[in-house]
Chains A and B, each alone.
Chain A
Amino acid sequence: MKMDGGQALIRALELEGVDVMFGLPGGAILPVYDPIIDSSIRHILVRHEQGAGHMAEGYAHATGRPGVAMVTSGPGATNIVTPLCDAHLDSVPMVVITGQVPYAAIGTDAFQECDTTGITQSVTKHNFLVSEAQDIPRTIKEAFHIATTGRPGPVLVDIPKDIVDPDNPRSALEWTDDVEMDLPGYSPRTEVDPAAIAAAADLIRAAERPVLYVGGGILKARAAEALKELAELTGIHVVTTLMARGAFPDSHDLCLGMPGMHGNFTAVTAMQESDLLIALGARFDDRVTGRLDGFAQGAKIIHVDIDAAELGKVRRPDVAILGDCRVAIEALVSDLSSNGVGGADRGAWRSRVSGWQERFPLSYEQAQAGDALKPQMVIERLRDATPDDTIVASGVGQHQMWASQYWSFEHPYTWINSGGLGTMGFSIPAAIGAKAGCPDKMVWAVDGDGCFQMTAQELVTATVEKIPIKVALLNNSYLGMVRQWQEMFYDERYSEVFLSKDVPDYKGWAESMGCVAMRVDSPEEVDAAIAKANEVDDRPVVIDFRVTAAEKVYPMVPSGASNSELVVPPSQQDQPR
């Protein structure tokens, strides 16, 4: 069948099962926007290309399917670099299509030309510059294959205008349904080495203080069920990193919650004191390990990862298992079921763990009558007033840590955040993408006032496209997380962290973007506002929660310190460790 490159591109996306894409047109990508009118794919027009990228990420996080974004050349492409880097660090499957100047004009500094593949090389899993129309269907197939297999990640496809422009003979191609991929250098491995599994099972049987250290890879591998089976079979406690919140239910007896810089005392300390860390799809990030040479010094390591380069990158494992997390866990379960879970005595360990849980629960000082609103309390009320399977997307800062700490995650894929890159402004577009992918779920963005001002304009997109997300704005008038560091480590010298008490008028701003908006100043108003927000189903809602700026995120491992130097809230500082 004869087609032009633009039609072929859209057809190829349809064949990949794309139902929604996010983008914004411009000169170089114009010809591809024409066939969208006749396509089954829903295109969501964003207000800034960064929004398109984070929406695609949010969609991918929530649905497990690759997110797709399309933007024009030059500034369109550079505006989406941040989401690409974000997706790269958090292993989010995403395909980004960028327009490019005509092939013959590349290198001439043509209008809106930039070296998109050069710029994005280090922030994508792979990228392509397509030179011939005939290569479009194959390249799209390869892009989706690379984005979704092995360790997932973002893939960019740069499309010169002449090969998609129906007025240009270079855009003509013969469409065939069966295109073969040509990727001789790409063959991710999923199966696992039985000898490594056996060695790992032996370590597990012998361990007296084992901890399952679970990272975002568990979610990418769709392995939450398998993990539960392994934990319950062995009775081993689980910590879920910031990227893995929800992979194991917070309400489960074996769940210790989040480890790391703002992890809770028990999760951090159990890892520190452990004799066996079973790392599943986790990468020993510095935010988790604290000072590396002080991290879990007495622990042996089993490390399961689909990316060989993670094995031994930071901490040398005693048993390295290369392959898919779910396959590995199932193999471990099968070994431990047939050969026994071992007779190691873990009684003393269990009582130490429960002692920590009793002495060092997550806590903050409750507000007294007349006190300002506490951000942690807002999260708790929101948690209690929303369904179990509510999707929470957060920004970056104190509010992110409180959301991760005080929410109770019961299901996988209900927590969406920017972990590796820590991108302020992530939450609103990510929530929109998640809601576009899961329209039947309630989606709340938990945002900070600093973050809100970076991407709030996407609420216009949400209104116009009828994507009714809800935003809990924890407005403390500050770049709060930075303020916290200045308070603790720079002698309370606050440099450039105060935003403003009165501008913008968030309620007025949100209303102008078509949202239902409320402002909450006191603790008594919280429940009613949330209840009202939960009633709205035809447009976005924003609640401006005016919270105190004085709260700090606890516990905290100061940067550069060992996890054993975890700072607990003042009320717990006299407790014996």
Chain B
Amino acid sequence: MNEQQGSSGPAKHHVPDYRYHTLVVTVENKSGVLARLAALFSRRGFNIESLAVAPTDDERFSRVTVVVDLESAPLEQIIKQLDKLVNVVNIRELHPGHAVERELMIVTVAAGPDRRDELVEQLDRAGGKVLSVGADAMMLSLVGPPIRIDEFEELLGQYGIIELQRTGRVALANLDEND
């Protein structure tokens, strides 16, 4: 997978031009399957950036969207080792730029009455929603590509984040990439 790699010497780390890579893993919807995935990642020293699991339209299967850190291991090894798990039915690599990726953030931000208008204006621009309003704080939600969520999270820093929860990303291939 890496042409520059000479044939002698160890199979060195494939040096990726991007550090994180999204895999969409279809697994059997059975108890213990998530533990198997997690155990594999820890046993083989594969780091993961995020992991999201949910049932699919077919009740026999669940879909796991996992963002792997290619600094910890070559993508090819991660995929091949995952594929060896008997409960893993299918693995799909989503190349950055060829997939629709979304993440949900809910966040409580310190914002008294004097700063609310400003905050809501920024939230509107980002496409987020106000979930509830308290005396000195607001609870907001935002869905979007992970990078937009990152940006918005940074912006909220100036108000003061009280509590924040992100889901980790889920992804589907672009329509024209479906085969």
Please list the residues of chain A having a beta carbon within 8 angstroms of any beta carbon in chain B.
117-118, 121-122, 125-126, 129, 146, 183-186, 292-293, 296-301, 307-309, 311-316, 318
Contacts and interface: CB of A to CB of B under 8 A. Distances in A.
A183 B8 contact: no
A309 B81 CA distance: 6
Q: What is the size category of the interface that chain B forms with chain A?
A: 20 to 34
Interface string B81-100: 10111111110000000000
Nearest to A131: B31
A185 B86 contact: yes
28 contacts: A118-B32, A121-B39, A122-B39, A122-B43, A183-B86, A184-B28, A184-B89, A185-B27, A185-B85, A292-B9, A293-B10, A297-B9, A298-B8, A301-B7, A308-B83, A308-B84, A309-B81, A309-B83, A312-B76, A312-B77, A313-B11, A313-B77, A314-B10, A315-B10, A316-B5, A316-B7, A316-B11, A318-B7
Majority SS of interface residues in chain B? mixed
Contacts of A300: 7
B84 A307 contact: yes
A288 B178 CA distance: 44
A534 to B, nearest CB: 44
B8 A129 contact: no
A146 B86 contact: yes
The residue among A118, A183, A312 with the most chain B CB atoms within 10 A of its own CB is A312
Contact of B28 (A185, A296, A299, A307): A185
A125 to B, nearest CB: 8
A291 to B, nearest CB: 10
Contacts of A117: 32
A309 B35 contact: no
B49 to A, nearest CB: 22
B125 interface: no
B36 interface: yes
B158 to A, nearest CB: 46
Given A121-B35, A309-B80, A126 B86 contact: yes
Nearest to B90: A185
Nearest to B32: A117
Interface in B12-61: 27-28, 31-32, 35-36, 39, 43, 60
A296 B8 contact: yes
Contacts of A311: 80
A314 B13 CA distance: 10
A121 B36 CA distance: 7
Nearest to A307: B84
A129 B32 contact: yes
Interface in B63-81: 76-77, 80-81
Contacts of B76: 312
A183 B77 CA distance: 23
Nearest to B11: A316
A293 B12 CA distance: 10
Contacts of A318: 7
Contacts of A309: 77, 80-81, 83-84
Contacts of A186: 86
A71 B32 CA distance: 22
Contacts of B43: 122
A533 to B, nearest CB: 44
5 smallest CB-CB distances across A and B, nearest first, come from A309-B80, A185-B89, A316-B11, A292-B10, A126-B86
A268 B123 CA distance: 67
Contacts of A299: 7-8
Contacts of A293: 9-10
A258 to B, nearest CB: 23
Contacts of B8: 296-299
Contacts of B31: 129
B62 to A, nearest CB: 12
Nearest to A129: B32
Contacts of A126: 86
A300 B87 CA distance: 35
Interface in B104-120: none
A562 B63 CA distance: 45
Given A122-B39, A122-B43, A312 B32 contact: no
Contacts of A314: 10-11
A293 B9 CA distance: 5
A307 B27 CA distance: 20
B5 to A, nearest CB: 6
Contacts of B35: 118, 121
Contacts of A298: 8
A67 to B, nearest CB: 20
Given A185-B88, A185-B89, A312 B83 contact: no
A165 to B, nearest CB: 22
A308 B1 CA distance: 14
A312 B11 contact: yes
Contacts of A122: 39, 43
A292 B10 CA distance: 6
Contacts of A312: 11, 76-77
Contact of A308 (B11, B80, B87): B80
A315 B11 contact: yes
B75 to A, nearest CB: 11
A129 B5 CA distance: 43
A184 B32 CA distance: 16
A184 B86 CA distance: 8
B87 A185 contact: yes
Contacts of A146: 86
Given A185-B85, A293-B9, A315-B9, 19 more contacts: A118-B32, A121-B35, A121-B36, A183-B86, A184-B89, A185-B27, A293-B10, A296-B8, A297-B8, A299-B7, A301-B7, A309-B77, A309-B83, A309-B84, A312-B76, A314-B10, A314-B11, A315-B10, A318-B7
The residue among B7, B27, B32, B85 with the most chain A CB atoms within 10 A of its own CB is B7
B10 to A, nearest CB: 4
A318 B7 CA distance: 7
A300 B43 CA distance: 30
A296 B87 CA distance: 38
Nearest to A146: B86
Contacts of B32: 117-118, 129
A109 B5 CA distance: 52
Nearest to A314: B11
Contacts of A121: 35-36, 39
A272 B134 CA distance: 72
Contacts of B60: 184
Nearest to A297: B8
B97 to A, nearest CB: 25
